[in-house]
Amino acid sequence: MTIYNLYIFDRNGVCLYYQEWMREKQPGMSQDEEFKLMYGMIFSIKSFVSRMAPVDFKDGFSSFCTSSYKLHFHETASGLKFVMNTSLNVSSIRDELQHIYSALFVEYVVRNPLCKLSQPINSQLFKTKLDSYIRGLPFFSAKVN
Amino acid sequence: MSRQGGRSTDPRKVSQELFTLTYGSLVSQLVKDYESDEEVNKQLDKMGYNIGIRLVEDFLARSGERRCNDFRETADIIAKSGFKMFLGITPTVTNWSAAGDEFSLVFDNNPLTDFVELPEEHSQLNYSNILCGVIRGALETVQMDVNVRFVQDVLKGDNQTEVKVKFIKRLEDAVPAGEE
């Protein structure tokens, strides 16, 4: 089991934070372009999923899988979007993404008045805390499957 | 009071008096810095807004609330959950407009004004105007554009303190560049 990378977007589509732990294949475009592409896809999937759903549901879009990786998505009521790519054998990580929001993002970004809310996060403290949380997760493994 | 009991269990709670007095010195400094009460009201609202947009994240993270389906639910959560969590009070939700787009929050005690007497020359000052900004900022972050204002204030000799919240419109998610 492996965690590849994490994106955090604000409700205006700005990528507040990106980190990768294990990414073998680089996208071959600028990071800025990649963020826009990722946000655009998430945005489209959200509207696609809510329109195509044959029944009422609360949670909305939460993940998709390809043959080689799984993308997990979590959105807060305030429109923050957490996107994490993992290997296929990781089951739902809703609680972990919620933890990143409530115990790390709120604690070290929102409560830090020097962190501007609509700009990429520069706080070293947040980076360190997030990195050690991710590395401590049971499904974090630096080995490639 | 219930908030007395809560204080010992939640280490994040601070003394109510410290909070009230700090807010009081903020307001009195603003009154010195600005010439008109109107301007002080405006500054308090602006500060409240800046607090609100951050406070709402803290609120969502701690309460686990999800998006509201309608404005009545919003009113309920503000009064019973939001005010409870941060000020230890539960204002009454009342005076719904026929269209359901406007309600009032009525406070029977307002912790911001515990030791306050308003001098006569400041009859235009909405002492607790920061609350309006906080509500507006918090709701804007969850995509609701609202108008919040004081309509009655015990400090001004009214029978009760009443804040009106009016729903203006729903703010939409930002569309990525190049999509419609």
pLDDT digits (tens, 9 = 90+) for B127-142: 999 999 999 999 999 9
> What band does B177 get if pLDDT is binned at 50, 70 and 90?
low
For residue B10, pLDDT over 80 is answered with no
- Chain B residues within 8 A of A102 when measuring between CB atoms: 61-62
Window A:51-70, CB contacts with B under 8 Å: 58
- Chain B residues within 8 A of A111 when measuring between CB atoms: 54, 58
Dihedral angle sign, alpha carbons of residues B100, B101, B102, B108: positive
> What band does B9 get if pLDDT is binned at 50, 70 and 90?
low
For residue B1, pLDDT over 70 is answered with no
What are the angstrom distances between the C-alpha of A59 and each of A62, A77, B154? 7, 11, 43
Q: Tell me, what's the pLDDT at B11?
A: 60
For residue B2, pLDDT over 60 is answered with no
Place of tokens 């959200």: A46
Rounded to 10 deg, the angle between the B37-63 and B16-33 helix axes is 150
Window B:103-142, CB contacts with A under 8 Å: 141-142
pLDDT digits (tens, 9 = 90+) for B37-46: 999 999 999 9
For residue A145, pLDDT over 50 is answered with no
Please state the φ and ψ torsions of residue A65, each to the nearest 5 degrees.
Answer: -120, 145
For residue A43, pLDDT over 50 is answered with yes
* Region B103-122 average pLDDT: 87
What are the angstrom distances between the C-alpha of B15 and each of B7, B8, B22, B79? 8, 11, 11, 21
3 state SS of B76:
helix
Q: Tell me, what's the pLDDT at B4?
A: 44
> What band does A96 get if pLDDT is binned at 50, 70 and 90?
very high
3 state SS of A63:
strand
What are the angstrom distances between the C-alpha of B174 and each of A10, A53, A80, B51, B135? 10, 22, 12, 23, 22
Q: What's the whole-number average pLDDT of chain B?
A: 88
Q: Tell me, what's the pLDDT at A58?
A: 75
* Region B145-151 average pLDDT: 95
For B97, the token pair is 């407009």
For A78, which of B142, B174, B179 is closest by C-beta distance? Answer: B142
- E-assigned strand segments in A96-138: none
Q: What's the whole-number average pLDDT of chain A?
A: 91
Q: What is the ipTM of this complex?
A: 0.86
User: Under 8 Å CB-to-CB from B119, ≥6 apart: which residues?
Assistant: none
